[in-house]
Structure 1
Amino acid sequence: MKKIITFCLLFCLTISLAQSKLKKADKLFKELKYVEAAQTYEEYLEKESNPSIEAVTHIADTYYFLDKPREALTWYRKLYELQGQTLSDQYLIRYTQSLRGVRDYDKADEITKNELLKKRDDKQASHFMAQKKYNDSLASRPSLFTIKPVAINSSKSDFGPAFYGNQLVYSSAKDTTKFHEKLYSWNQQPFLELYVADRNISTGELFNELPFLENIRSKYHDATVTFTPDLKTIYYTTNTLKKSRLLNDKEGVNNFQILRATITDGKASEPEKMFFNSLDFSVGHPALSPDGKWLFFVSDMPGGYGETDIYVAEVFSDGKLNSPLNLGPTINTAGREMFPFYINNTLYFSSDGHYGYGGLDVFESKQSGKLFFSEPKNLGEPINSNKDDFSFIIDPELKFGYFSSNRDTGKGDDDIYYFTKAKAPCDQIVSGKVINAKSKLSLDGAIVKVFDSFGDYKTEVTTLPNGEYQVTIPCGGSYRLQASKTKFVPQEKEVITGLKNQDQIKDVNFELANLDDFVVIEDNKKKVDINPIFFEYDKWGITPQAVIELDKVVYVMNTFPKVKIKIESHTDSRGKDLYNMMLSDKRAKATQEYILSKGIDPGRIESAIGYGEKRLRNRCSNGVKCSDEEHLLNRRSDFIIIEE
């Protein structure tokens, strides 16, 4: 009995200690003290054979936020096994990004495809495959980018470069300030401060780094800046403070805000808060357009598409800002979109929601119209890696710039890299001919447009009088060519160019169909132009000769998807009236069934009716002596076009 009691006491004590350990880990997690939280969760889970989903989620997130994909993967895999189909889009992204973080790209793709198949989300599946196809094409051609780390990188976090005339302003956790004794509990590093450095225009190297605008420096994070074109106004990200102390929301989390200040003689004015700052959510990573009229920024405010979205607000001439607008689902995903930079009608940003190499990747998207952006394109290696790559900036001539990354080859946590960008290596010529699909005659003035693998328009040419065209497109990519002409149905073909300047790609030919070539007008009605359809005597089965003609109708309906018809079948006057009526109706229905069997939508055939001998085309009515040729004119099936 004593042994049993002792065992029970020890068992209860073990449970109590385990629960105490879990409670401590949860508290550290909630306070964003991820380094300590990870260790405490490990101690708890080492002895817990059946952990809760919440505990597994928390330890996975802890390692994810600490950028330890291998450790995070262990627990996200466990979470995926526990939750299966109920795993949210956010956690599916974190799981697959952890796989990419350890370069297990095939497994990440497999899981993503399986989840999309389960959801039957054709649009998202198409988007995924298009981005994967583009990324695969990047691997087959040389990169335009050459990169190198800058010498001033420290063992701590250095990131967020911003052009400041011939200098560079950046964020760093290097421990050289008077607040060195305060550490950020997330990663046990000093809080971020702003620095300015001179820039070697030839090599991109940074030197003579100094603290920037010390009079607005807080005791906590000050980071990611942007400047007006005259460099007299700064927007920057900082913690939400009240009387120099952190101000937390109801959940105990301190959010970020954007402040604005005027710079005079190397000092900043009293910072001004943006009206869209909030205690309840974060705003940060400001980026002004080169003309200073648009402010892009990042936020996790309610109503977004994912963890963090990119927004834009118009900046008026008096400095006031319009209400922010979300850039929409083309840019924003269920994951994180961060660190926008805008120049030359192009938005550069980082994302872990779009298809990439792992962690945050840098993407570019062309703008056309106020808020319309093209499908984002991955910049590829070496800009992107299996780790976080972000804070990308580039000069107006697109020749050089800087970005940040925490890749394994770096000096510290986040490092700043300088890059140069070369021009596209080569072009190739694609040529061919555009002709009329029926007459085979050349089509003069047809337009051949070129689109890249994301559907973005690139260029176009017009055919010569002999129907020939020639267009120049970049090497090493997949392109879609579309030939079109007024009243003709457009036709598309895919072209994949090689990696080097080569002889032109020839014979990319098009045959365009015009509806007028396939119709005849009779009795003021448009009808599909076919030969008479014959049926065996007293039968309505489709004969081999009828198949040839009916296939012409099917071709017209497939080629011109807006065409709708009605079917009318007729007989000659020989035979009884009622019998002819029934026979023609059966033949009309038989032709309808054949056309539908070829995959034509039933909604495109309004009716199929037999009219017997009611609508004769000549004098050969009952009792009138006529030749077989004259009677033949009345035995017919008409396919009347009622909509085109």
Structure 2
Amino acid sequence: MKNIITIYFSLFFLSVNILMAQEKNAAKEGNKEFEQLAYIDARESYLKAANNGFTSDLLLKNLGDSYYFNADYKNAAKWYGQLFEYSTTVEPEYIYRYALSLKSDEKYLASDRIMEKFYETKGEDYRANLFINERNYLEEIELQSGRFELINVNFNSELSDFAPSFYKGNIIFSSNRNNRGVTKRVHDWNEQPFLDLYKLNTFDEKNTNTIKFNSDINSIYHESTAVFTNDGLTMYFTRNNYTNEDYKEDKDGTNKLKLYRAKREHTETTKWNIQELPFNSDEYSVAHPALSPDEKTLYFASDMPGTKGLSDLYKVEIKDSIFGKIESLGNKINTEGRETFPFISKDNKLYFASDGHIGLGGLDVFVSNLEQNKIGEVFNLGRPINGPNDDFTFIINSTTGIGYFASNRSGGMGDDDIYSFKSIKPLITKCEQSINGTVLNAITDQPIPNSTVYLLDENNNVINEKTTGVSGNFNFVLDCSKTYSIRSTKETYLPAEKVFNTPNRTGVVERTLFMKKEQELPAPLGTDIGPLLGINIIYFDLDKHYIRQDAEVELRKIIDFMNVYSNIKIDVRSHTDSRNTSEYNLDLSNRRAQATIDYLVNVGGINRARLTGKGYGELQLRNRCGDGVPCSESEHQLNRRSEFIIVK
């Protein structure tokens, strides 16, 4: 029995070792396929190994990537999550992909938690800083949302359709649809046919009349993302690195993308003369062309040396068909993620897809103004253009507001589908804040309709005013990074005021003003209305009697109070600290009282007959700081003040 048990266990361990060796071999085969970007084949090898218990950092990374780079973010999140649990040191890029995959699965809170880990690991990363500084990104995206109305199209296939472009009243797009049963080679990346360019006749009312574009352009490999000059005689497009049936690869065995220019002499000519652009390379990809409105600048995406992320956007000047120096679009546009698929509208807006800027998941479409050769701030287009999946290849006719984009969102006909839209509201393309406020009764919390709300700038100048509606609501449009105050007034109510700063990002500020009625605030003779109104003590600089800027804010509250209570009279009482002689201080405080009264009269329009004033010098100190007593500057300043006493 002992020998039988020994043989049994020997055979068991032998079989386990053989099995583990097989799974390691499967994983190795997956690694080889992954390096060649054959993600589907790699995935099968990895899954075989993982399902039989073999696990490693590399397997989990590559398995997650095999889904991530085919936009299956739900499964990508699953395997990145296992990597996060399995490994104690996950590289930052995989943390970011995990967060992005969770976001694409609409698990926003979980995504935020992983992004916090990303920030802890790589805080200097532009994407990490965007996340930390714009934690209300969903609010900002919602503010932009609802500016487009989607329109159904009927020309999508069961495979991939994307990259629409305008061409003489028609649409050119990229597709790997089956072509009437003709067999075409498939790509290892996703085991689907290679892409060709197709033409859609937009004058077809059914919107289904699609034909293959010119055979000079379409090859046996990929063609996609075309852009045309206005006269239709020149086009730029993307193709695999392929020349005369020579399918070229880089030193790692990867075939890259290249840009080509095709020309013809006139629109009746079908023959296109094709030329490879001079800044292509066998070692990196150059793809996805876009033209400026004047057709003098070509924009494109590339992972060339110096690229910040997986791909960046670049531009190059075209002069007499000669290309100038290549320039990166810089840090406003490019991140450590992917920036790709640029499009320049006739009103000079740059639209592009990115997973590095703050979005809803996967690739989102963003917009930036191009004004006087300067790149503006980047804004997410919001829903319904963007969603939790990949949204990209956005184009728009800025005159009609009609456009197209592609997405792999659920509910489509194929892997990627083209959607049409109409613009129904202008986009936010500069930093813009607004304030939504409410005026409420401080005792009952009920709204106060028909109250007047003033918007004041940092110098206390009234720049706008509104009357509240039935719900006590008001709204103002503001600039970013500015100081404002809002003040509400109404007969029989005491005024209310709040000072606030707007952040340096598009969004909405919420503020509530609470007002108290006269009968709710009895003010007998001898009352200092400063504490009654919540006024900060009005201070003066040492040995000075002019009204400081911070004092102006408080004096305006006195003005509003006296305008509401037109029968009240105020005695302005000014005080100094104990420094200098008693006679000098008495004179100084009298000058301060007079300066205060003059401000209320000259600036606030208060009748001088309703104001009296007197200086008390150092006779009524608020603390121990009398003559000869050592005190700090802040202690002395407590004695340099004005009071506003109700005397009638």
Give TM-score, length-normalised by structure 2: 0.67
Describe the shift of the 1:135–1:242 C-alpha distance in structure 2 as closer, same or farther (beyond 3 A): same
Q: Residues 261 and 271 of structure 1 are in contact (CA less than 8 Å); yes or no, is this contact kept in structure 2?
A: yes
In structure 1, runs of 5+ residues without a counterpart are 444-466, 485-489, 500-504, 508-516, 523-527, 537-582, 596-635, 637-644
More off after superposition, 288-297 vs 360-369: 360-369
Q: Which amino acid aligns with 2:28?
A: K
Describe the shift of the 1:253–1:531 C-alpha distance in structure 2 as closer, same or farther (beyond 3 A): farther
Following TM superposition, by how much is the alpha carbon of 1:396 offset from its aligned partner in structure 2, in angstroms? 2.3
Q: Match of 1:198?
A: 201
Q: Residues 103 and 388 of structure 2 are in contact (CA less than 8 Å); yes or no, is this contact kept in structure 1?
A: yes
Counterpart pick for 1:286 among 266, 286, 289: 289
Q: Residues 218 and 244 of structure 1 are in contact (CA less than 8 Å); yes or no, is this contact kept in structure 2?
A: no
Q: Which amino acid aligns with 1:279?
A: D
Q: Match of 2:482?
A: 482
Following TM superposition, by how much is the alpha carbon of 1:117 offset from its aligned partner in structure 2, in angstroms? 4.8
- Describe the SS at the equivalent of 1:216: coil
Counterparts of 2:152 and 2:125, CA distance in 1: 41
Q: Match of 2:620?
A: none
Q: Residues 288 and 341 of structure 2 are in contact (CA less than 8 Å); yes or no, is this contact kept in structure 1?
A: yes
Q: Residues 145 and 421 of structure 1 are in contact (CA less than 8 Å); yes or no, is this contact kept in structure 2?
A: yes
Q: Which amino acid aligns with 1:46?
A: N
Q: Match of 2:566?
A: none
Following TM superposition, by how much is the alpha carbon of 1:228 offset from its aligned partner in structure 2, in angstroms? 1.7
Counterparts of 1:133 and 1:535, CA distance in 2: 52
Counterpart pick for 1:76 among 75, 80, 85: 80
Describe the shift of the 1:533–1:102 C-alpha distance in structure 2 as closer, same or farther (beyond 3 A): same
* 2:394 matches 1:392: yes
Counterparts of 1:433 and 1:152, CA distance in 2: 52
Q: Residues 287 and 340 of structure 1 are in contact (CA less than 8 Å); yes or no, is this contact kept in structure 2?
A: yes
Q: Match of 1:252?
A: 253
Following TM superposition, by how much is the alpha carbon of 1:126 offset from its aligned partner in structure 2, in angstroms? 5.8
Residue deviations 1:369-425 (CA, integer Å, cap 9, x gap): 424331x21111111111111110000226110000111110011111110111359
Q: Residues 80 and 87 of structure 1 are in contact (CA less than 8 Å); yes or no, is this contact kept in structure 2?
A: no
Q: Residues 151 and 421 of structure 2 are in contact (CA less than 8 Å); yes or no, is this contact kept in structure 1?
A: yes
Q: Which amino acid aligns with 2:142?
A: A
Following TM superposition, by how much is the alpha carbon of 1:127 offset from its aligned partner in structure 2, in angstroms? 2.9
In the TM superposition, what are the counterparts of 1:113-124 in structure 2 within 5 Å? 113-117=116-120
Describe the shift of the 1:59–1:404 C-alpha distance in structure 2 as closer, same or farther (beyond 3 A): same
Q: Which amino acid aligns with 2:207?
A: L
Counterparts of 2:260 and 2:181, CA distance in 1: 22
* 2:61 matches 1:60: no
Residue deviations 1:529-567 (CA, integer Å, cap 9, x gap): 99875489xxxxxxxxxxxxxxxxxxxxxxxxxxxxxxx
Residue deviations 1:55-113 (CA, integer Å, cap 9, x gap): 1111110111222222111110122234456522x323311121122211111122213
Counterparts of 1:532 and 1:476, CA distance in 2: 41
Counterpart pick for 2:408 among 406, 409, 419: 406
* 2:12 matches 1:11: no
Q: Residues 435 and 478 of structure 2 are in contact (CA less than 8 Å); yes or no, is this contact kept in structure 1?
A: no
Following TM superposition, by how much is the alpha carbon of 1:160 offset from its aligned partner in structure 2, in angstroms? 0.3
Q: Residues 63 and 69 of structure 1 are in contact (CA less than 8 Å); yes or no, is this contact kept in structure 2?
A: yes
Q: Residues 38 and 189 of structure 2 are in contact (CA less than 8 Å); yes or no, is this contact kept in structure 1?
A: yes
Describe the shift of the 1:118–1:82 C-alpha distance in structure 2 as closer, same or farther (beyond 3 A): same
Q: Match of 1:461?
A: none
Counterpart pick for 1:154 among 153, 157, 180: 157
Counterparts of 1:397 and 1:314, CA distance in 2: 25
Counterpart pick for 1:176 among 175, 179, 183: 179
Counterparts of 2:310 and 2:250, CA distance in 1: 18
Residue deviations 1:458-481 (CA, integer Å, cap 9, x gap): xxxxxxxxx54469xx98988647
Following TM superposition, by how much is the alpha carbon of 1:45 offset from its aligned partner in structure 2, in angstroms? 0.9
Describe the shift of the 1:140–1:217 C-alpha distance in structure 2 as closer, same or farther (beyond 3 A): closer
Counterparts of 2:349 and 2:427, CA distance in 1: 21
Counterparts of 1:398 and 1:521, CA distance in 2: 67
Following TM superposition, by how much is the alpha carbon of 1:239 offset from its aligned partner in structure 2, in angstroms? 0.4
Q: Residues 132 and 355 of structure 1 are in contact (CA less than 8 Å); yes or no, is this contact kept in structure 2?
A: no
Q: Residues 98 and 359 of structure 1 are in contact (CA less than 8 Å); yes or no, is this contact kept in structure 2?
A: yes
Following TM superposition, by how much is the alpha carbon of 1:593 offset from its aligned partner in structure 2, in angstroms? 12
Q: Match of 1:185?
A: 188
Residue deviations 1:247-303 (CA, integer Å, cap 9, x gap): 001101000000001034343433211121111110101001121011110011121
Q: Residues 476 and 497 of structure 1 are in contact (CA less than 8 Å); yes or no, is this contact kept in structure 2?
A: no
Following TM superposition, by how much is the alpha carbon of 1:148 offset from its aligned partner in structure 2, in angstroms? 2.9
In structure 2, runs of 5+ residues without a counterpart are 1-5, 437-452, 467-473, 485-498, 516-538, 545-549, 552-573, 581-626, 641-648
Following TM superposition, by how much is the alpha carbon of 1:208 offset from its aligned partner in structure 2, in angstroms? 2.2
Counterparts of 2:269 and 2:475, CA distance in 1: 48
Q: Match of 2:327?
A: 325
Q: Residues 42 and 66 of structure 2 are in contact (CA less than 8 Å); yes or no, is this contact kept in structure 1?
A: yes
Q: Residues 286 and 300 of structure 2 are in contact (CA less than 8 Å); yes or no, is this contact kept in structure 1?
A: yes
Q: Which amino acid aligns with 2:454?
A: G
Q: Match of 1:350?
A: 353
Give TM-score, length-normalised by structure 1: 0.67
Q: Which amino acid aligns with 1:388?
A: D
More off after superposition, 259-268 vs 165-174: 259-268
Q: Residues 137 and 477 of structure 1 are in contact (CA less than 8 Å); yes or no, is this contact kept in structure 2?
A: no
- Describe the SS at the equivalent of 1:223: strand
Among all aligned residue pairs of Structure 1 and Structure 2, give the percentage whose two residues are the same amino acid: 32
More off after superposition, 97-106 vs 403-412: 97-106
Counterparts of 2:514 and 2:274, CA distance in 1: 62
Q: Which amino acid aligns with 1:432?
A: Y
Q: Residues 194 and 223 of structure 1 are in contact (CA less than 8 Å); yes or no, is this contact kept in structure 2?
A: yes
Counterparts of 1:435 and 1:379, CA distance in 2: 31
Q: Residues 309 and 337 of structure 2 are in contact (CA less than 8 Å); yes or no, is this contact kept in structure 1?
A: yes
Residue deviations 1:570-603 (CA, integer Å, cap 9, x gap): xxxxxxxxxxxxx99x969x549999xxxxxxxx
- Describe the SS at the equivalent of 2:34: helix
Q: Match of 1:622?
A: none
* 2:317 matches 1:295: no
- Describe the SS at the equivalent of 2:315: strand
Indicate the RMSD between aligned Cα atoms, in angstroms: 4.1
Describe the shift of the 1:408–1:133 C-alpha distance in structure 2 as closer, same or farther (beyond 3 A): same
Counterparts of 1:468 and 1:181, CA distance in 2: 67
Counterparts of 2:412 and 2:41, CA distance in 1: 24
